Amino acid sequence: MKIGILGGGQLGRMLIQEALKYDDEFYTLDPASDAPCHNISYFTQGSFNDYETVLNFGKDKDVVTIEIEHVNADALAELENQGVKVVPNAAIIKTIQQKILQKEFYKNHDIPSPEFEVMDGSSDEINMPLPFVQKMNTGGYDGKGVQVIRTAEDMKNLWIQDSVIESLVDIDKELSVIVARNENGETKTFPVTEMVADPKLNLLDFNICPVFLDEDIEEQIDSITEKFLNAINSPGLFAIELFLDKEGKVWVNETAPRLHNSGHQSQEGNANSQFEQMYRVVKNLPLADTDAIIYSGMLNLVGAEGFSGKVVYEGMDDVLRLPETYIHLYGKTETKPGRKMGHINVLADSREELMEKLVMVKGMVRVIAE
């Protein structure tokens, strides 16, 4: 098959790396000439937001998929009209890439998500009581386009643009569950992972699997995933980010219609990785076993404060000496503060051992510049 991927970043790179054991051709489209996929695929430099560029890129492919949701969904819909398979389909991409439509999707399908109102950008009139979260309708990712408004003084920072105003959840844990569905309607769900965020960067710091939750909480998550998979009417792999509040209620924060940072530990920690699963979804193959085989965790390698330029990974030799520790670099030559440059997966026999190893490894390595 000729498989086209909109986006040439690290998610596409790891998908291609996993799928190279099979017999397919991979084509990627990205605006950056040095995108992580540029040297491991048939690469086209161009905008995945431009209608004509996406149309021309996809028209001779057997299937087109995405590794970033900020793409031209109208062009994908036209490719579908022309007989090109698009995974996930253009309609669900369009729904998820707009926070307003995404929230309305949850409401319409009885999927629990924090209470919200829509701000249309024409005024700053808000009915939601403080504190609340403002999420820009489009373009946000990795903590960008999201802010918490806690006080009347914070109201001066309100963005006067199309956005979702959402009640603030009293969070106990941030969880994630990755689900997959193929064209035949077969579904598989990865074990729930716990996400621990870096409070300064608002980026995922650690990801931990498995998570042991009360039966009631597991039942809530099972209900959410079942409703979601029934509602999407599309093949695809989706990461559902969840909040567990301090009263034991589970809420959907948001969904990514693609591979996700919260599934990276599956590369060594599960019977199959999210990348193997995504390949099978795209090809409409039988879905892979997703069982956790051991305690696993992931930590992001992000550019250190104060360093921009040609990347240097300080302390990597020491990490390479550790057992059951796996480095994944993204092929990015230039670092800057907060930029994701890679990740490290760690395996352990218990959660306590896993946390100790993750903290130790985080202290051993720094992403700096020459």
Read off φ and ψ for residue 4, nearest 5 degrees: -100, 140
Q: Is the pLDDT of residue 99 over 80?
A: yes
Quote the CA–CA distance of 100 and 297 in Å, as a whole number. Answer: 32
Quote the CA–CA distance of 134 and 35 in Å, as a whole number. Answer: 31
Residue-wise pLDDT for 158-202, tens only, equals 999 999 999 999 999 999 999 999 999 999 999 999 988 766 655
| 237, two tokens | 């792999």
Handedness of CA 106, 111, 116, 117 (dihedral sign): positive
Q: What is the pLDDT of residue 94?
A: 97
Quote the CA–CA distance of 344 and 362 in Å, as a whole number. Answer: 9
Q: What is the pLDDT of residue 140?
A: 75
Write down the mean pLDDT value for the chain. Answer: 95
Quote the CA–CA distance of 344 and 111 in Å, as a whole number. Answer: 33
Instruction: Tell me which residue of 278, 301, 298 sits closest to 288, measured CA to CA.
Output: 278
Amino acid identity of 346?
Answer: V
Quote the CA–CA distance of 93 and 76 in Å, as a whole number. Answer: 9
Q: Is the pLDDT of residue 144 over 90?
A: no
Q: What is the pLDDT of residue 198?
A: 66
| pLDDT band per the 50, 70, 90 thresholds, residue 124 | confident
Handedness of CA 254, 259, 260, 264 (dihedral sign): positive
DSSP secondary structure of 201-248 = TTEEEEEEE-----HHHHHHHHHHHHHHHHHH-S-EEEEEEEEEETTS
Alpha carbon distances (Å) from 98 to 75, 101, 102: 16, 5, 6
Average pLDDT score over residue span 57-86: 98
How are beta strands 193-198 and 187-189 bridged, if at all? unpaired
- 23: number of CA atoms within 13 Å, CB side? 0
| pLDDT band per the 50, 70, 90 thresholds, residue 123 | confident
Q: What is the pLDDT of residue 18?
A: 98
Query: Other C-beta atoms within 10 Å of 124: how many?
Result: 11
Alpha carbon distances (Å) from 215 to 119, 172, 220, 237: 37, 16, 9, 25
Burial of 49 (0-12, 13-18, 19+ CB in 10 A): middle
Amino acid identity of 85?
Answer: K
The residue whose two tokens read 């092929």 is 331
Quote the CA–CA distance of 181 and 219 in Å, as a whole number. Answer: 20
Residue-wise pLDDT for 275-298, tens only, equals 999 999 999 999 999 999 999 999
Q: What is the pLDDT of residue 203?
A: 57
pLDDT above 70 covers a percentage of the chain that reads 97
In three-state secondary structure terms, 155 is helix
Q: What is the pLDDT of residue 90?
A: 98
pLDDT above 90 covers a percentage of the chain that reads 92
What pTM does this model have?
0.95
| pLDDT band per the 50, 70, 90 thresholds, residue 223 | very high
Q: Which long-range contacts (CB under 8 A, 24 or more apart) does 329-334 make?
A: 329/301, 330/9, 330/10, 330/13, 330/36, 331/10, 331/13, 331/36, 331/39, 332/10, 332/34, 332/36, 333/34, 334/34, 334/308, 334/309, 334/310
Q: What is the pLDDT of residue 247?
A: 97
- 196: number of CA atoms within 13 Å, CB side? 13
